[in-house]
A = this chain, B = another copy of it.
């Protein structure tokens, strides 16, 4: 097969999706199915999730079609009938999507996306739907914790190189910006999503020069408007002194040094020493960026120590969501042909039927608890799930990423205090309504 666009390929899925589809079609099972995506459990290192990835899901659902190369694969695989291939040629998503907006805080067991579509359509989109919603939600949730820990210091994503593949790096930049980061080092995140792009220099630039101060000067000459110098290649404080010396040399050319970056050792200790060297050299306006194995815990420690750091760059541990590298998330059939259903597998039971989540707020407007109930049950509180697509088409215009980012910022203001402080094990109570419990009992009675 020629190189497909793996981001939009509907064939980039599990084989069993096609196997099941053929089974459904042979028995005329094309009635309306309702599937919901949710995270089953809250890891103790989280406490809350931030929804992300919806925009990429909508694009995928709107555009997904089988290409002729993909149909050829199905036809020649020996696993499927020609009538099935003919069906796939006409396949497109014509269903509805309800979802929680990007940037919204949510908790375990709360559906954040609901597909209502003929069964073969709702089934086939499963794998990519999970793949898209999980990863950005994973990163946005981690990034939001970094934002809460940062005491309003600007955060930059540096994660592309150690993200899991090309798409992960790109989407990590988007999800972290959504959650409140100031930008990313990843160029395509700027051109594709409008994420502000930032950059400094690598150790190799220093090492390629015989003398460190020459490397600094060459960089200043090449980028007079954005001189941020990496000073830890040989000795951090020596590096800072060279920056002070450089500043007066380049001043004659009209160049001012904007910042320095620390990337190793005890960042708190180095930050205090470097700040002192810079200040004594008259470089009070030169800002300090810190990077290197940072995450929300390291940020909390830097902030607690009042380290004089102006920017924080967060890479690997963000893009890999290192302490929670996956969510226990699923996409489950909740209703077929008007009949609510649930699986009862041990430890993996689900609540049946299409559902809504209502949020109740307490003191200072902070989240008090949520209630999950059936879509038509009366319930107090703010409903979180809204219709996003109807009959395969997006309702209204795409929501600009900056708008979702503002929504995310507002959400963080409403978090309970112990979640703001990242207290391990803290979360928000999610109640299951009596109506939903009774529906589950009624469903169970049928088996």
Q: Which residues of A contact B (CB under 8 A)?
A: 1, 3-9, 11-20, 22-24, 26-27, 29, 33, 35, 73, 79, 119, 123, 126-128, 130-131, 134-135, 138, 158, 160-171, 185-188, 190-192, 197-210, 218-219, 221-223, 226, 232-235, 263-265, 316-317, 319-322, 325-327, 329, 332-333, 336, 339, 341-348, 446-447
Most B CB atoms within 10 A — which of A131, A197, A319?
A131
Q: Considering the chains assembled together, what is the distance between the CA atoms of A263 and B4 in angstroms? A: 32
Q: Considering the chains assembled together, what is the distance between the CA atoms of A188 and B161 in angstroms? A: 24
User: In the assembled complex, which residues on chain B have CB atoms less than 8 Å from the CB atom of A163?
Assistant: 131, 135, 164-165
For A127, the closest partner residue in chain B by CB is B161
- Contact call B344/A233, Cβ cutoff below 8 A: yes
User: In the assembled complex, which residues on chain B have CB atoms less than 8 Å from the CB atom of A126?
Assistant: 161, 202, 204
For A315, the closest partner residue in chain B by CB is B326
Copies of this chain, complex-wide, total: 2
User: In the assembled complex, which residues on chain B have CB atoms less than 8 Å from the CB atom of A130?
Assistant: 161-162
Closest 8 CB pairs of A and B: A15-B199, A165-B167, A164-B164, A16-B199, A23-B222, A325-B325, A265-B346, A264-B345
Most B CB atoms within 10 A — which of A165, A192, A207, A219?
A165
User: In the assembled complex, which residues on chain B have CB atoms less than 8 Å from the CB atom of A135?
Assistant: 163-165
- Contact call A26/B265, Cβ cutoff below 8 A: no
- Contact call B33/A208, Cβ cutoff below 8 A: yes
**Taking the nearest CB of chain B, how far is it from the CB of A341, in angstroms?**
4
Q: Considering the chains assembled together, what is the distance between the CA atoms of A413 and B2 in angstroms? A: 36
Most B CB atoms within 10 A — which of A11, A22, A207?
A207
